[in-house]
Amino acid sequence: MQVVEPIDEEFKFEGRAIVSETDLNGIITFANRKFCEISGYTKEELIGQPHNIIRHPDMPKKAFEMMWNTIKQGNVWTGLVKNLRKDGRYYWVETTITPIQDETGAITKYAAARKGASEAAIEEAETLYERLRGEEAES
């Protein structure tokens, strides 16, 4: 599958957020309707799968290392992510991941909300991610 095209205009966010929840290992436990629509997967195809089912190969590993380090410490992480649809097209999202804690303060799951990213933010992220991929290739 060749990954070259962004999603079509038909897949606009229309002011609605993509929402998902995962367990502590990143396995999807909840996916809202907008997540299914934008990703091209059904809810049944998403639930029980690792969230990286939608990871675009252009995303540097370092970005996800930083994300996991942040959320495992109980902190909120925000960043831009390029995701891969089931049909091979891609989409950029501004993502916020929040650790959900129980009454004792233990993290029990992660909740993520995403919205479409601006062109300026995408250009900035592409520059950063290109540099990170280059560093990964050198090591």
CATH of the domain at 35: 3.30.450.20
Q: Is residue 65 part of a domain?
A: yes
> Is the residue at 67 inside a domain?
yes
The rounded mean pLDDT for the chain is 89
The closest alpha carbon to 51, from 20, 77, 73, 80, belongs to 20
Residue 12 reports pLDDT greater than 80: no
How many domains does the chain contain in total? 1
Q: Does 15 have pLDDT greater than 90?
A: no
Arithmetic mean of pLDDT, 1-12: 50
pLDDT over 90 percentage in the chain:
77
Residue of 100, 103, 97, 92 whose CA lies nearest to 128 = 92
pTM of the model: 0.86
- Residue 8 maps to a domain: no
The answer to whether residue 11 sits within a structural domain is no
pLDDT average, residue stretch 50-74: 95
The range of the structural domain enclosing residue 54 comes to 17-138
